[in-house]
């Protein structure tokens, strides 16, 4: 019998943990929701969820020792997947907090407001422009849509294109922004794959298959 990859959904006080847990189980993982540092270090894949404000998520991660845990995993090229604000905190800082709260800094750049959007938050279904070499989006069709809920994102509009090599999926809501980031074992989505139905399940299964 093939061993299911062990995945930890990092419980640092952010919401939406159980829906992520259920989606990852369906994707083929053995999932634990925990703040335990040992489990977070040793698991095959660590999922960093994120709901709410940038500063609150960073502070929650700090409170459970997550900055060191996530940094260690990135340094050792151990898989990490950030979701929504869980992706944003991987960058250096955010305009949402007037750049007062420092992100984890494992990706370069500042998270910025979707300043050209007519309506915020960006809430609903949107397509993603996929780069040819994306692993997570390899089986995603141009018409497939993912579920977004956010007012800020990484790499928003010119001249703020940074970390170009890491961005494998773009979306647009008023302004073009990074929807998917992949750099070796480090990955993240601005949308919520666990709330994106069948296409989200495809993406999570692709990630679990890499573990």
Single pTM value for the model: 0.95
The confidence score (pLDDT) of residue 192 equals 97
Indicate if 84 belongs to the active site: yes
DSSP track, 69-97? HHHHHHHTT--EEEETHHHHTTSSEEGGG
Active-site residue, selected from the candidate residues 122, 150, 173, 192: 192
CATH of the domain at 123: 3.40.50.880
Strand boundaries in 35-183, DSSP class E: 45-48, 80-83, 93-94, 110-113, 122-127, 129-130, 145-150, 152-154, 167-173, 175-183
Indicate if 192 belongs to the active site: yes
Indicate if 32 belongs to the active site: no
Structural domain range at position 144? 6-209
The confidence score (pLDDT) of residue 160 equals 56
Burial class of residue 56, CB neighbours in 10 A (0-12, 13-18, 19+)? middle
In a domain, 189, yes or no: yes
- Count of domains forming the chain: 1
CB of 128 closer than 8 Å to CB of 171: yes
In a domain, 1, yes or no: no
In a domain, 68, yes or no: yes
In a domain, 21, yes or no: yes
Active-site residue, selected from the candidate residues 21, 96, 166, 194: 194
The confidence score (pLDDT) of residue 45 equals 98
In a domain, 187, yes or no: yes
Q: How many CA atoms lie within 13 A of 69 on its CB side?
A: 25
The confidence score (pLDDT) of residue 201 equals 97
Active-site residue, selected from the candidate residues 43, 57, 84, 155: 84
The confidence score (pLDDT) of residue 14 equals 84
Over its length of 211 residues, how does the chain's per-residue pLDDT go in tens digits? 678 999 999 999 987 799 999 999 999 999 999 999 999 999 999 999 999 999 999 999 999 999 999 999 999 999 999 999 999 999 999 999 889 999 999 998 899 999 889 999 999 999 999 999 999 999 999 999 999 999 999 877 555 555 568 899 999 999 899 999 999 999 999 999 999 999 999 999 999 999 9
């Amino acid at each position: 019998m093939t061993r299911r990859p062990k995945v930890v959904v990092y419980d640092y006080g952010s919401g939406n943990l159980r829906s992520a847990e259920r989606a990852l189980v369906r994707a083929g993982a053995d999932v634990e929701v925990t703040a335990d540092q040992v489990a977070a270090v040793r698991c095959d894949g660590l999922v960093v969820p994120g709901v709410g404000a940038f500063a609150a998520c960073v502070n929650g991660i700090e409170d459970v020792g997550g900055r060191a845990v996530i940094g260690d995993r990135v340094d050792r090229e151990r898989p990490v997947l950030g979701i929504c604000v869980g992706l944003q905190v991987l960058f250096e800082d955010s305009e949402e907090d007037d750049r007062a709260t420092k992100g984890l800094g494992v990706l370069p750049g500042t998270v910025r407001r979707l300043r050209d959007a007519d309506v915020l938050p960006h809430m609903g279904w949107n397509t993603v422009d996929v780069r040819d070499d994306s692993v997570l989006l390899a089986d995603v069709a141009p018409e497939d849509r993912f579920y977004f809920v956010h007012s800020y994102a990484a790499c928003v509009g010119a001249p703020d294109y940074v970390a170009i090599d890491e961005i494998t999926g773009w979306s647009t809501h008023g302004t073009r922004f990074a929807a998917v980031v992949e750099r070796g074992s480090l990955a993240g989505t601005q949308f919520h794959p666990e709330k994106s139905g069948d296409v989200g399940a495809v993406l999570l299964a692709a990630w679990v298959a890499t573990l």
